[in-house]
Structure 1
Amino acid sequence: MEIPFFPTLFTTVRSLVVRQPFFPTLEDLLVNHPKILGFSWNNGQTPASSQRFLALTVLCYISFTFILSQVSRPSLARPVLKSISALHNLFLVTLSFIMALGCLVSIFSQVPNFKTLVCFPKRTSPSGPLFFWGYIFYLSKIVEFMDTLLIILGNSMKRLSFLHVYHHSMVVIMSYVCVNSAQSSFSMVLVTNCTVHVVMYAYYLMCTLGVRPKWKKMVTDFQLVQFWSSFLIMAMLAFYHFTGSGCSGFLSWCFNAAFIVSLLFLFSDFHAKNYSPKVKNA
């Protein structure tokens, strides 16, 4: 049983992209490189892949965030803080773009059809290019903890909300679970998330450099669109799972569904409080 429209769209776009003269070069760099093509996630053996590492990392992040936000802290000179922030944001803009591009090229190179993209066969092994980029994505979420440290060092405590800490800590767990369980459709979520982060960290970079773009609201709008698109992807995964022989990582899909529902609620609340007409007129 097939979902209408999307399989045809995927086949059409894939056929168009792979015929482009630049595609073989991107494929060699981002898919066929021996380290990428031969990647395999082995729990407890691949660096940062153990559950103990994950638990300690998240607990340390939450603990240090709480402690540093409560005690007196050494202040960095503003030029130093701005330089560190600029480098951090530039790094994440670049990394997010590479991850989105790498995963997208891997999809067009490795995935034969739309159903396979949404619903990996059961007992799929977390290996190969798609899961290499999933692994890099997971590691990048640990790098993003630096966002919180920069907020604390900059004494911008109003930005250190529950939403911020909850999002940063839980998304690491979500990314780990997705790769570890070879979750279906994770590559699609990766591409949308990294695309949003290119826009978001580009905005932060411009602010750090003294430019105040007028599209701050668009960053939050993109995040909300990302969450709604995640629901669409999850709905299609559930459809294929229950109408076929099942999809890889379905239990982790249930965890992710609950997490994204909570994020959608929190981001919607943030959006309403900051961009509603009442707030603008206050």
Structure 2
Amino acid sequence: MSVISATIFAGILLSTASEIRETRWFWRRSKTTPLQWLLCFPLGTRPSGRVFFWSYIFYLSRFIHMWRTFFTILRRRKLVFFQLFYNSILTFTSFLWLEFSQSFQVLVILFTTLVYSVVYGYRFWTGIGLPRACFPLVINCQMVLLGCNLVCHIGVLLLHFMKNGGCNGIGAWVFNCVLNAAILLLFLKFYVQMHLEKRKFCLIATKGEDNVKLKDY
């Protein structure tokens, strides 16, 4: 999964750089910057070309994540509802990106694949017995990813009202906002519960050490 994510990241990054380099002359006429193009596709943009090719590859990779969830169920391991919901929603939103040529999908794919390559690489690192990080790396990476997505959504909203004609696929973007808001709320709930359980465990462990010290005394 880490290699697949890194491949998609490199592919869409190079394709985006080539697309910007070859169409920059056209953007100068409409006074459009590369960042504005990444956040807000012009109206009438069709899902074709090298950038959307890698977007389609990213959509297909979502089914591999779903297979991982399926095998987790078969192995009777603990399945977190947030993981199941997140994988299902991201697969659906990836389809919307392609179907409606939704704006800002390039940045989201870049952020997502970069985070996934780090997260799954770290899981492989710890899976072969190498030392873990001194902080919850996976949770922190997911928080950074959700924060970047939130900033992108705000950027799309601002450009849609500032730019003449608006952004392409804005209807799908509104629906995507609702799904991302649900993911954010579930993640915050999961994050708070995790810290509360960790704090409770630390309190129990501290009381146990105090009882042992009293008995020794």
Q: TM-score, normalised by structure 2?
A: 0.81
Determine what percentage of the aligned residue pairs are the same residue: 28
Verify: 1:252 aligned to 2:172, yes or no.
yes
Residue 183 of structure 1 aligns to a residue whose secondary structure is: coil
Q: What's 2:147 paired with? A: 228
Higher relative contact order (CA 8 A, sep 6+): 2
Moved over 6 A (4+): none
TM-superposed CA distance for 1:125, in Å, is: 0.5
Which structure has more helix as a fraction of its residues? 2
Gaps (5+ residues) in structure 1? 1-91
Verify: 1:101 aligned to 2:22, yes or no.
no
TM-superposed CA distance for 1:110, in Å, is: 0.7
Q: Structure 2: which amino acid aligns with 1:114?
A: L
Over the residues paired in the alignment, what is the CA RMSD in angstroms?
A: 1.7
Residue 121 of structure 1 aligns to a residue whose secondary structure is: coil
Q: 1:171 to 1:279 in 2, by over 3 A?
A: farther
Question: Residues of 2 paired with 1:167 and 1:279: CA distance?
Answer: 27
TM-superposed CA distance for 1:137, in Å, is: 0.4
Verify: 1:149 aligned to 2:70, yes or no.
yes
Verify: 1:191 aligned to 2:110, yes or no.
yes
Q: For the Cα contact (< 8 Å) 1:138–1:176, is it kept in 2?
A: yes
Q: 1:156 to 1:116 in 2, by over 3 A?
A: same
Question: Residues of 2 paired with 1:139 and 1:279: CA distance?
Answer: 41
Q: What's 1:175 paired with? A: 94
Q: 1:273 to 1:279 in 2, by over 3 A?
A: farther
Residue 145 of structure 1 aligns to a residue whose secondary structure is: helix
Residue 103 of structure 1 aligns to a residue whose secondary structure is: helix
Q: What's 2:138 paired with? A: 219
Gaps (5+ residues) in structure 2? 25-33, 204-217
TM-superposed CA distance for 1:212, in Å, is: 5.0
Q: For the Cα contact (< 8 Å) 1:174–1:256, is it kept in 2?
A: yes
Q: 1:216 to 1:177 in 2, by over 3 A?
A: farther
Verify: 1:130 aligned to 2:39, yes or no.
no
Aligned residues: 189
Deviations 1:117-170 (CA, angstroms, capped at 9, x unpaired): 11110110101111111100000001111221332233222xx12212111111
TM-superposed CA distance for 1:208, in Å, is: 2.9
Q: Structure 1: which amino acid aligns with 2:202?
A: N
Bigger CA radius of gyration:
2
Q: TM-score, normalised by structure 1?
A: 0.63
Q: What's 1:273 paired with? A: 193
Q: 1:154 to 1:211 in 2, by over 3 A?
A: farther
Deviations 1:190-218 (CA, angstroms, capped at 9, x unpaired): 00001110111112222332335225612
